[in-house]
Amino acid sequence: MAVVNLVLRGVISGSQTWSTHVDFAQLGSGAVGQVDLDVWLAAAKTQLDTFWSAANGIGAQNDTTTTYTQLQAYYRAGPGGTPLLQSSVVVSKAGTSATSNVWPWQSCMVATLLTGFPGRKERGRMYLPCNRPVGVTAVHQFNATATGAVSTSLATAIHNINALALGTNGLFAQPLNSTRIYQRVAVDNRADIQRRRTDKLPSSASSVTTI
């Protein structure tokens, strides 16, 4: 079963790169060419631009130096392996929150993509940058307005991308190595971390005290 890996990329606080992805399985056996993938990706970009810019959505949970800059699609004959086709488009989106009191770069909001079936292989996760959330409770958790906006806007984007054609074929978002289709998006109110999102943050000073 052919798959498309859809990857969102950007930069946190003007320095640290971030990426997250969602996978789609091809329904149909029609041939897919470069033009087909380019057209599909351009249409998918429209949906993900709307997701980023949604009111109280993920763009609102990042400061103005955090950006969403690129969307890539990798077409493969099956999960894993070398891509048969690759397409990329430039994105020009930035966060809308203030640059003061930002959270650590590795802070993120996690969107869990649910199929309705148990087991880790039956769900997906998207680790979304979140360095200056505006909807935060007194105990430093996201409020319902923020989590609701992100889950709704992401679910809408995935639903609309599912409706796009790849050449003569359909595509549906689902976990790799599974035949289950994502049914829901859940966003927890607890912030999570992506440790690899600090590799561009070197130590600038160190304090050493003799015992």
Whether 138 maps to a domain, the answer reads yes
pLDDT in tens, 1-56: 899 999 999 999 999 999 999 999 999 999 999 999 999 999 999 999 999 999 99
Whether 116 maps to a domain, the answer reads yes
pLDDT > 90 fraction of the chain, expressed in percent and rounded: 80
Q: What is the 3-state secondary structure (H, E, C) of 181-211?
A: CCCEEEECCCCEECHHHHCCCCCCCCCCCCC
Closest CA to 36 of 70, 75, 90, 8: 75
Whether 208 maps to a domain, the answer reads no
Closest CA to 171 of 2, 5, 25: 25
Q: Is the pLDDT of residue 138 over 90?
A: no
Whether 210 maps to a domain, the answer reads no
Whether 104 maps to a domain, the answer reads yes
Structure tokens at 73: 């699609």
pLDDT of residue 200: 60
Whether 204 maps to a domain, the answer reads no
pLDDT of residue 120: 87
pTM confidence score: 0.92
pLDDT of residue 60: 97
Instruction: Outline where the chain has alpha helix (H).
Output: 34-53, 144-162
Structure tokens at 3: 């798959």
Structure tokens at 180: 């289950």
Q: Running DSSP on this structure, what letter comes out for residue 164?
A: -
CA distance 152 to 150: 6
pLDDT of residue 11: 97
pLDDT of residue 189: 95
Average pLDDT, the chain: 93
Q: Which helix (H) or strand (E) holds 68?
A: strand 67-76
Listed in sequence order, the residues at least 6 apart from 73 whose beta carbon sits closer than 8 Å to its beta carbon are 4, 5, 6, 7, 37, 40, 41, 44, 85, 86, 87, 88
Q: Is the pLDDT of residue 75 over 90?
A: yes
Whether 205 maps to a domain, the answer reads no
pLDDT of residue 209: 84
Whether 140 maps to a domain, the answer reads yes
Q: Is the pLDDT of residue 201 over 90?
A: no
For 64, the 3-state DSSP assignment is: coil
Number of domains in the chain: 1
DSSP output for 9-38: EEEETTTEEEEEEEEEEEES-----HHHHH
* Structural domain span for residue 163: 3-198
